[in-house]
């Protein structure tokens, strides 16, 4: 074989090899860059949904705490003869909202599932014990015999249980707020395009 033809074949073969390798590297680079961009966009969207969830959850927690503050004032201002509560008092637990929160916590913040469940259960118990106390106080007969009567003692016992349950719900909600704050402090915001 002629040396010129051999050199030409080697040159063409080398060019083809370089072309194939550079195309493969370019394809790999494009795929990798696209995958990173898609993953980054997905993380940004999940982060946005998580922040939206946290804002709504914190607003609802604030409303629950305000309702419990009203209940604590009613409990603290009630005497054995006058309940000091409004029979139209609205509950501080909205099951439909908390069902939605539970599903979204599961999807976007599963690390908060346990503390969310604890806050939910504590708040349900606070609502139940407050309702029991309110019923006892509203049903007290006008001549129940004062603070030492069985009816008055039942009211005092129910008041103590309601106050303890409300305090427990306050602590559980505070733990949920701390969990949200800790999660947000570990989240690095992604740059927007």
Q: Is residue 39 part of a domain?
A: no
Residue 64 has pLDDT above 70, yes or no: yes
pTM score:
0.69
Range of the domain at 159: 44-186
Residue 80 has pLDDT above 90, yes or no: no
For 95-129, the pLDDT digits (tens) are 567 778 888 888 888 999 999 999 999 999 998 99
Total domains in the fold of the chain: 1
Q: Is residue 2 part of a domain?
A: no
Inter-CA distances, 171 with 48, 58, 132, Å: 27, 14, 21
Q: Residue 149: is it exposed, middle or buried by C-beta count within 10 angstroms (0-12/13-18/19+)?
A: middle
Q: What is the model's pLDDT at position 161?
A: 93
Inter-CA distances, 48 with 44, 52, 97, Å: 6, 6, 20
User: Any idea which of 113-122, 126-135, 165-174, 179-188 has the lowest mean pLDDT?
Assistant: 179-188
Q: Which residue has the higher pLDDT, 167 or 32?
A: 167
Residue 87 has pLDDT above 50, yes or no: no
Calculate what percentage of the chain has a pLDDT beyond 70: 77
The residue behind tokens 């916590």 is 105
Q: Is residue 110 part of a domain?
A: yes
* 8 A C-beta contact, residue 101 and residue 56: yes
């Amino acid at each position: 074989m002629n040396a010129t033809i051999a050199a030409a074949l080697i040159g063409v073969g080398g060019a083809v090899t370089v072309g194939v390798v550079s195309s493969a590297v370019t394809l790999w680079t494009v795929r990798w860059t696209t995958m990173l961009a898609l993953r980054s966009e997905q993380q940004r969207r999940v982060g946005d949904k998580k922040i939206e969830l946290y804002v709504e959850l914190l607003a609802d927690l604030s409303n629950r705490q305000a309702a419990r503050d009203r209940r604590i004032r009613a409990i603290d201002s009630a005497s054995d003869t006058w309940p000091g509560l409004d029979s139209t008092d609205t509950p501080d637990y909205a099951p439909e909202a908390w069902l939605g929160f539970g599903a979204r916590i599961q999807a976007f913040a599963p690390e908060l599932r346990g503390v969310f469940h604890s806050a939910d259960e504590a708040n349900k118990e606070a609502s139940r014990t407050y309702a029991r106390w309110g019923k006892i106080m509203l049903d007290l007969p006008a001549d129940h015999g004062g603070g030492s009567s069985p009816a008055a003692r039942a009211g005092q016992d129910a008041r103590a249980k309601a106050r303890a349950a409300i305090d427990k719900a306050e602590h559980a909600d505070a733990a949920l707020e701390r969990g949200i704050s800790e999660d947000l402090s570990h989240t690095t915001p992604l740059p927007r395009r």
